[in-house]
Amino acid sequence: MADPFTISFLMKMITDRVDMMLTRGLTLERVTASQGRVLAYLMSRDGENVSQRDIERHLGVSHTTAKGIVQRLEQKGWVTTAFDSEDGRLKNVYLTDMSRGVHESICQQIGVIENTLLDGVPEESRSMLRDLLRRMYDNLK
């Protein structure tokens, strides 16, 4: 009998658990896991123009999904948006002072989850896992 825990099923279960842990860890900030990922991405590119299209590509989500996440972040005061001055079709997303204040909290929460997820996994195996996951992701593009 085939193992019911296929790789894709295990990946889905891990993703769901990570999302739950991240959302729970960010409850004080009223930020969901998806919103936290967008904020972390914007923080990693602070000072650069980042469009909603960039967010779509980074997260691997649809235009509608990225737009919804950004709109909710904007409603909560975490980001502002403006059309790009050079290409009016693009809507850029900018961090607010409020979101910069939670940068450490988001990074800390992501770090805690990563450490929990990889507890007992040697560095060599972590590197191999990262490479395999990237290859799998590229296969699906």
What is the pLDDT, as a whole number, of residue 30? 81
Assign 141 a pLDDT band (cuts: 50, 70, 90).
confident
Residue-wise burial string across 77-113, b where 16 or more C-beta atoms lie within 10 A, e elsewhere: ebbeeeeeeeeeebbbbebeeebeebbebbeebbeeb
Q: How many domains does the chain have?
A: 1
Task: Determine phi and psi for 79, rounding to 5 degrees.
Answer: -140, 165
3-state secondary structure of 91: strand
Residue 106 near residue 46 (C-beta atoms within 8 A): no
Angle 118-20-48 from CA coordinates, rounded to 5°: 80
Instruction: Establish if 134 belongs to a structural domain.
Output: yes
What is the model's pTM?
A: 0.75
CATH number, domain with residue 95? 1.10.10.10
User: Whole-angstrom Cα distance, residue 33 to residue 12?
Assistant: 15
Instruction: Establish if 115 belongs to a structural domain.
Output: yes
Instruction: Establish if 117 belongs to a structural domain.
Output: yes
pLDDT in tens, 43-80: 999 888 999 999 999 998 999 999 999 999 999 999 99
Structural domain including 74 reads: 7-139
H helices within the chain, ranges in order?
A: 7-25, 33-44, 52-59, 63-75, 97-100, 103-117, 123-139
What is the pLDDT, as a whole number, of residue 125? 94
Task: Determine phi and psi for 23, rounding to 5 degrees.
Answer: -60, -45
Instruction: Establish if 2 belongs to a structural domain.
Output: no
Amino acid at residue number 25: G
Instruction: Establish if 38 belongs to a structural domain.
Output: yes
Instruction: Establish if 63 belongs to a structural domain.
Output: yes
